[in-house]
């Protein structure tokens, strides 16, 4: 009898073999290629994926992460704020110790631009995925993006946080009700900082040097990554009034 994590590895290896074989065969389009047979074979692959998802759900994300240092989720054809964005955030955030080069925690594709959320919620969604060092896979129609969607998905400063070479997943360091502080260590000693308001009303959120893991007197520049401008020098703490379901996102460093 295999453990659930062990069964996931077996199923995953089988899935990998099947997908590679189907891609190889379909790509050649042999003279005897049968579309109906291909549909049947890909249906088998879909069933294998469902078995993997079921195993992960039964064992729990943390058990899988500890054993194979990876995790995944699914959107269940929904793209709303409460479910699944916040659900995925809360499932993925505790897995931060298991992330790193070669074994990232995949929070699933981005839903920015797909409807069902406000621009504020889209910015929060994108910011949190970047803080979690998640793969940033656009899930929208990239050939028909409005300006708001482009401004979010093409924010190079936020993408740089996601892609930072230190390879540490950011995580929640403080929470009080709907108010949260997230920190992500960066290469060169800097920090990415998100003040996150889950609530339905504006909230004042403050981050301290202790939360960033820094001495109080350290000298650093604070840059607002959504306003694209420096907003002063680090003075031991930073405070902002954050809109409902919104974030304030900063890079603190030299």
**In this structure, which CATH number among 2.60.40.10, 3.40.50.720, 2.60.40.1180, 3.40.720.10 belongs to the domain 171-253?**
2.60.40.1180
pLDDT at 72: 42
Among 140, 102, 104, CA closest to 122: 140
The whole-number pLDDT of residue 69 equals 40
**pLDDT digits over 126-166, tens only?**
999 999 999 999 999 999 999 999 999 999 999 999 999 99
Would you kindly state where each structural domain of the chain is located, as residue ranges?
A: 4-66, 171-253
| Model pTM score | 0.73
**Residue 80: what pLDDT?**
65
Q: Which residues of the chain have pLDDT under 50?
A: 1, 66-77, 79
Q: What angle do CA 152, 192, 201 make, to 5 degrees?
A: 65
Q: What is the pLDDT of residue 68?
A: 41
What pLDDT does residue 84 have?
Answer: 80
Residues 197, 244 contacting (CB under 8 angstroms): yes
């Amino acid at each position: 009898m295999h453990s659930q994590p062990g069964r996931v590895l077996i199923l995953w290896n089988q899935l990998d073999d099947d997908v590679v074989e189907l891609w190889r065969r379909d790509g050649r389009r042999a003279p005897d290629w049968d579309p109906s047979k291909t549909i049947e074979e890909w249906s088998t692959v879909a069933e294998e994926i469902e078995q993997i998802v079921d195993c992960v759900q039964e064992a729990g994300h943390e058990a899988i992460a500890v054993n194979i240092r990876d995790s995944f989720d699914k959107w269940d054809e929904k793209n709303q704020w409460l479910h699944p964005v916040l659900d995925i955030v809360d499932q993925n955030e505790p897995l931060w110790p298991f992330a790193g080069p070669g074994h990232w925690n995949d929070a699933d594709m981005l839903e920015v631009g797909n409807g069902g959320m406000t621009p504020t919620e889209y910015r929060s969604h994108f910011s949190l995925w970047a803080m979690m060092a998640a793969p940033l896979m656009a899930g929208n129609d990239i050939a028909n993006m409005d300006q708001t969607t482009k401004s979010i998905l093409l924010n190079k400063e936020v993408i740089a946080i996601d892609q930072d070479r230190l390879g540490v997943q950011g995580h929640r360091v403080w929470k009080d009700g709907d108010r949260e502080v997230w920190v992500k260590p960066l290469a060169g000693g800097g920090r990415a900082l998100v003040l996150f308001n889950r609530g339905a009303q504006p909230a004042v959120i403050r981050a301290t040097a202790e939360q960033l893991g820094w001495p109080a007197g350290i000298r650093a520049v604070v840059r607002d990554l959504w306003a694209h401008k420096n907003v002063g020098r680090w003075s031991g703490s930073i405070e902002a009034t954050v809109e409902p379901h919104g974030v304030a996102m900063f890079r603190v460093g030299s």
